[in-house]
Each structure stands twice: as structure tokens, then as C-alpha cells.
């Protein structure tokens, strides 16, 4: 396998990563995966032929092994991201410092392309720390390494997602409050995001470009939750939660040692522009991909939330 192209993937153990590893190894890539807990990432080796996946140590105090891996790579992909801050993980560290470091390593090596996965809505003028940090990370990467390609997905959905599954779990309540039901986005399947990354690697003359990728439908937050309820055959009342109530709730939940349902920063995002393709950048169509319909696809994984499971009447 020494003659196969090599991809170093940061954040490969996450939601998108497992699909990307499978996708790249099918195309004969060797995947080098930095991780602090290789014993917890063994499932990634089941996605690939023997020897196609190699774990290396991700040491936040010493990046020498990551730099060595990048020096030997043809492609580098960054999937690392967080949705909310904790005591140890801050947006500035994860979304800005890491892509800054990786892109500098790429510039010092023979890497052909650096794919940095960001998010639709990245904006320096946003009042959201998340959106600000996403834009700052993009800027660092683009300035440091000319062969950087940015991919901004809308809400990513799939079997293991934290969106359709979350609201399916919340169906135990007869009333489901949703913050800003009119907020629009373009949900996209994780398999399409993975395919877009692979296509972007092979595309010509896209260095320094940004792709905004969304699914085929633009849907409101409220309508998407209603669609989820319909899929799992649960009749629930979806109501709009006033923003001041959401911010109050997020404040008190942030004091608890549990993952928040919604944070103050996420409330700010919902108060700003919709999470849809802007038309100012390249899109998934430029990669020759026809994205799948999330509402149709989620029937394949949300059946487990129906009364009766897979044997429930549709």
C-alpha cells in the first residue's frame, strides 16, 4: 500500500469522519488519523481494508507526529469542530487555532490540497462566537496555504446525527417547543457531504475556493420537526418558543454538567440569517453531486422511534 495516496484526517472519529474514511479507502487512500483515544476509534478500521487506516497520537502539547504525518500526505482534511464551548474546549482554540496550525504545516510540506470543513453562516460580523470563529478559521487556512478548499455544509443529517435523533427522543412530550420555527436551512445527508469532500479533492482549479453545500430542499425549523414527528408516527404539538425564554433556559442549562439542548450562542445564530446556500460561492452542483432528500432518507433510521419499531404501520 506504499504507493497509494495518503490522507491525514483530523476529526475522523466524528459523525462525518466514519463515512469519509470508508469513501477514501474505497478509492485506495491510506488514512492517517490523529486521535487521543485510538482504543475508542477501532470501528474506523472496520470501514477499510487491513492496513488502510493508521492511528497516530494527537497530543495537544506536541504536534510533531501530526506534522510528520502531514509531511508524508497527499491530502489533509480537517473535520474538527464543536457546537458549544465547555471548560476545556473553546471556539477560538478548535475553530481558529487548529486550522491555523494545520494549514501552516501544509504550507511547509508537499501536500497537494487541504480540505477544511467549516459551516454555512461563517461570518466575521455575526454576534455568534461560533460563526465568528468558523470564519476566522477559514481565513487563517486560506491565507496560510494557497491550496486550501473550504466546504461549508448546512445541517448534516444521517443515522448517527444529533438533529433528527434528538427531536425523535423529545417526542416523549406531547408538546415540543422549537426556537424560531421560521428559521430555514437546507439539511444535507452525511453521505453527500462525504462525497463532496472526495470530489473536491479531485476537482481541478478549486484551490482557494469555498463550497456552500445544502440539500435539495429549503425547509423551516418548525416544518422539519413536524416532518420528523410524522416519520415516527407521533402526533405532537410543535410550538414556537419565544427567544427570551430560550435564552433564559440556555443560561440555566449551561450551569449544569450536561450537554445543553440549546445554548445562548445558538440562540444568537437563530436570530440571524437563515442557514441556506447564499449563491455567492460554489455549490454541491459544481461537484457534480445530486444531493438526496433528507426527509425521505430519514425514514430508514428513525423507524426505531416508532411505537412498534420497524414493524409499525406507516
Q: Which residue has the higher pLDDT, 44 or 277?
A: 277
How many whole angstroms separate alpha carbon 64 and alpha carbon 271? 41
Residue by residue, DSSP assigns 158-211 as: STT-SSHHHHHHGGGSSEEEEE-TT-EE--EEHHHHHHHHHHHHH-SS-TT-EE
pTM: 0.94
- Mean pLDDT across 26-47: 90
At residue 1, the pLDDT reads 47
Where b means 16+ CB within 10 Å and e means fewer, 40-77 reads: ebeebbebbeeebbebeebeeeebeebbebbeebbbbb
How many whole angstroms separate alpha carbon 211 and alpha carbon 229? 31
At residue 49, the pLDDT reads 84
* CATH classification number, 6-155+188-214+276-291, choose in 3.10.20.30, 3.30.420.10, 3.40.50.720, 3.40.50.11720: 3.40.50.720
- Mean pLDDT across 1-10: 86
User: Where along the chain do its domains lie?
Assistant: 6-155+188-214+276-291
Mean pLDDT of the chain: 93
Amino acid at each position: 500500500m506504499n504507493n497509494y495516496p495518503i490522507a491525514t484526517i483530523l476529526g475522523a472519529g466524528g459523525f462525518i469522519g466514519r463515512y469519509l474514511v470508508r469513501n477514501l479507502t474505497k478509492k485506495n487512500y491510506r488514512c492517517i488519523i490523529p486521535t487521543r483515544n485510538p482504543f475508542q476509534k477501532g470501528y474506523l478500521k472496520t470501514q477499510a481494508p487491513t492496513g488502510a487506516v493508521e492511528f497516530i497520537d494527537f497530543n495537544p502539547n506536541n504536534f510533531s507526529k501530526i506534522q510528520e504525518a502531514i509531511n508524508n500526505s497527499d491530502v489533509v482534511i480537517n473535520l474538527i469542530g464543536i457546537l458549544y464551548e465547555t471548560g476545556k474546549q473553546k471556539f477560538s482554540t478548535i475553530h481558529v487555532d487548529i486550522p491555523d496550525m494545520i494549514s501552516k504545516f501544509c504550507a511547509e510540506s508537499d501536500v497537494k490540497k487541504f480540505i477544511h470543513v467549516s459551516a454555512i453562516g461563517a461570518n466575521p460580523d455575526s454576534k455568534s462566537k461560533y460563526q465568528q470563529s468558523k470564519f476566522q478559521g477559514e481565513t487563517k487556512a486560506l491565507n496560510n496555504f494557497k491550496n486550501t478548499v473550504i466546504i461549508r455544509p448546512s445541517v448534516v443529517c444521517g443515522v448517527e446525527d444529533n438533529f433528527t435523533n434528538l427531536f425523535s427522543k423529545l417526542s416523549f412530550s406531547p408538546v415540543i417547543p422549537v426556537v424560531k420555527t421560521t428559521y430555514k436551512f437546507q439539511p444535507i445527508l452525511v453521505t453527500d457531504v462525504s462525497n463532496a469532500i472526495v470530489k473536491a479533492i479531485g476537482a481541478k482549479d478549486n484551490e482557494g475556493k469555498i463550497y456552500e453545500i445544502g440539500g435539495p430542499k429549503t425547509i423551516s425549523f418548525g416544518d422539519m420537526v413536524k416532518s420528523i414527528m410524522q416519520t415516527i408516527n407521533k402526533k405532537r404539538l410543535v410550538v414556537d418558543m419565544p427567544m427570551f425564554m430560550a435564552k433564559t433556559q440556555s443560561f440555566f442549562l449551561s450551569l449544569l454538567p450536561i450537554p445543553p439542548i440549546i445554548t445562548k450562542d445558538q440562540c444568537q445564530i437563530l436570530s440571524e440569517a437563515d442557514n441556506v446556500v447564499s449563491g455567492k460561492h460554489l455549490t454541491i452542483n459544481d461537484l457534480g453531486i445530486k444531493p438526496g432528500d433528507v426527509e425521505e432518507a430519514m425514514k430508514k433510521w428513525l423507524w426505531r422511534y416508532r411505537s412498534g419499531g420497524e414493524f409499525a404501520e406507516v
